[in-house]
Structure 1
């Protein structure tokens, strides 16, 4: 089995300088040396070397195209090295485009401590990801995040710490597996649903670049006025509301959300809580889930707001109706 290791940049690909950690030009070579020293049947595919805070939906679509090209060229598994700030978003973006369609394991990883720092974790994470990408059983799980010897589903994983090396978790779900002595131990069976959206398979980088769907997240908080949403509403193609609790908004934000809906712009209702579903029929009154869903907001189906934003953006770029994109089990 040949694993293609596609590089995207991030902490794992940095060098320490007087101006802080910056992208290093030696990352791909160092990866190749590591894999060769461990006897791994893997090849390094330099793609991008950028901070993950700059990685958007268009980059995810471009990465998906590279992955499919590598598979067509004989790769039996894929590892993507990536910055941790938005690693979970790229993992989910790949799931939207690829789903389980590639037929091979796809594992994303990175590092919290860069080369040269005490306790650097990049090498261990890469080797664990290569082990995961070499286990054909994981092809049925869609893209996964492999970090600190844990394996997480793209739809559930999130960065839970800004500094610890065990930076990722799946609140309410936990990892689906782990890496032990280079072997994969699976704790949960194959997910019941493929998270890909019908129609997104052919969405390319161009459709998601500048001029593509502009979908923003609006975070609710106590007494939120909705001023920013009202000011930007006519420039947006879609809105994701990260509501309080079970999907609630203060009166001012509620008015702004309803105005957006009246203008025909899709709004997806999610919760800012790290775990739990948006409610459907528990609370009434202005700004409740009954009120917002009744006004036409789309139920976010338990997705984290950042992932709901990606799902809406990819659906709009593919010409898939937002209600269709969020229908069914998540």
Structure 2
């Protein structure tokens, strides 16, 4: 880690910042309470505190994400050497990915949080903040784009997910694992940065509605009919490698024919979407022939955010989710 690094610490709320509940009300502490004293931060790191939001992450909206991304942009423009964001864990992976869509950065950006609140035994927030500060102070992390730093592991935004509902080691990247870790306030990188950036070519405040539906046993076309009427586009968490029931498939095709983009992802946390292995109603071949778009390895919530902010900025859906050439037939 380089000495004399200025790192912004932006507080957005979440478990890491909550106070003991008083009846039905629970407050969030500000960044002043989260900023570690000099003896509890990596040597040579100057912390520049900033309050942005004070929300449980379950309450985050697309407008809140835009506000947070703008705060990160401001700190980068002010000449910070890195940025750390503290955030609730329920939607932390979505916010990390949104930052990778919206923030064009040449400095490290790390997002972290806590599974145990400050007033519970063994709070993990202080250690996570310290590790995130160490990571964000190292310029070697910048090419990775915004990352999640949790329990001393470093995960890229496009792959990380919350894998456990309550354990302090709550985050993982099933497809690849962490790209690095922090030890003794030192960043150690194990894998290279992602080969393709998630950054959108244009950015704008959110102005569209994107619906999200998951395929499951017995889920039919009725799941889409109401959703599509209230949405400008739809993302589907499909079964396996890109399959849905015949009824759901027909409704999705009808939605696409009506001019609303439909993007297919998989419910599975790892693996590829197929192109020409299965045929028939609801198969990936049928859905691709009908002009539906496939999201590669992105999870459904992240694909939804890419579609939402991309369409808001006028980026064509085909540019957001490029078509892959089918593999040769067996």
The residue that corresponds to 1:79 in the other structure is 84
Given the alignment, which residue of 161, 165, 177 partners 1:162?
A: 165
2:168 is the alignment partner of 1:187: no
Given the alignment, which residue of 43, 51, 66 partners 1:46?
A: 51
TM-score relative to the length of structure 1: 0.93
Question: What is the CA distance between 1:283 and its match in structure 2?
Answer: 0.2
Given the alignment, which residue of 18, 22, 27 partners 1:23?
A: 27
Question: What is the CA distance between 1:235 and its match in structure 2?
Answer: 2.1
CA contact (8 A) 1:224 1:251 kept: no
The residue that corresponds to 1:69 in the other structure is 74
Q: What does residue range 6-17 of structure 1 map to in structure 2 within 5 Å?
A: 6-17=10-21
Given the alignment, which residue of 136, 141, 148 partners 1:138?
A: 141
Given the alignment, which residue of 29, 32, 36 partners 2:35?
A: 32
**What residue ranges of structure 2 are gaps of 5+ in the alignment?**
325-330
CA contact (8 A) 1:215 1:312 kept: yes
SS at match of 1:229: helix
Cα displacement string for residues 189-215 of structure 1 (whole angstroms, at most 9, x for unaligned residues): 122111112112xx13xxx1xxx2110
TM-score relative to the length of structure 2: 0.93
Distance in 2 (alpha carbons) for counterparts of 1:20 and 1:328: 49
Question: What is the CA distance between 1:33 and its match in structure 2?
Answer: 4.5
The residue that corresponds to 2:328 in the other structure is none
Distance in 1 (alpha carbons) for counterparts of 2:146 and 2:295: 21
Cα displacement string for residues 158-208 of structure 1 (whole angstroms, at most 9, x for unaligned residues): 0001100000000121000000111011010122111112112xx13xxx1
The residue that corresponds to 1:219 in the other structure is 214
The residue that corresponds to 1:197 in the other structure is 200
Distance in 1 (alpha carbons) for counterparts of 2:40 and 2:162: 30
Question: What is the CA distance between 1:23 and its match in structure 2?
Answer: 2.4
2:130 is the alignment partner of 1:127: yes
The residue that corresponds to 1:256 in the other structure is 251
Distance in 1 (alpha carbons) for counterparts of 2:196 and 2:157: 13
Distance in 1 (alpha carbons) for counterparts of 2:12 and 2:65: 10
CA contact (8 A) 1:11 1:21 kept: no
CA contact (8 A) 1:10 1:23 kept: no
Question: What is the CA distance between 1:78 and its match in structure 2?
Answer: 0.1
* Greater Cα shift, 72-81 or 127-136: 72-81
**Aligned residues between the structures:** 318
Distance in 1 (alpha carbons) for counterparts of 2:215 and 2:234: 13
* Greater Cα shift, 85-94 or 230-239: 230-239
RMSD: 1.6
CA contact (8 A) 1:97 1:197 kept: yes
Distance in 1 (alpha carbons) for counterparts of 2:25 and 2:275: 46
Distance in 2 (alpha carbons) for counterparts of 1:74 and 1:37: 24
Given the alignment, which residue of 232, 250, 262 partners 1:267?
A: 262
**What residue ranges of structure 1 are gaps of 5+ in the alignment?**
none
CA contact (8 A) 2:100 2:198 kept: yes
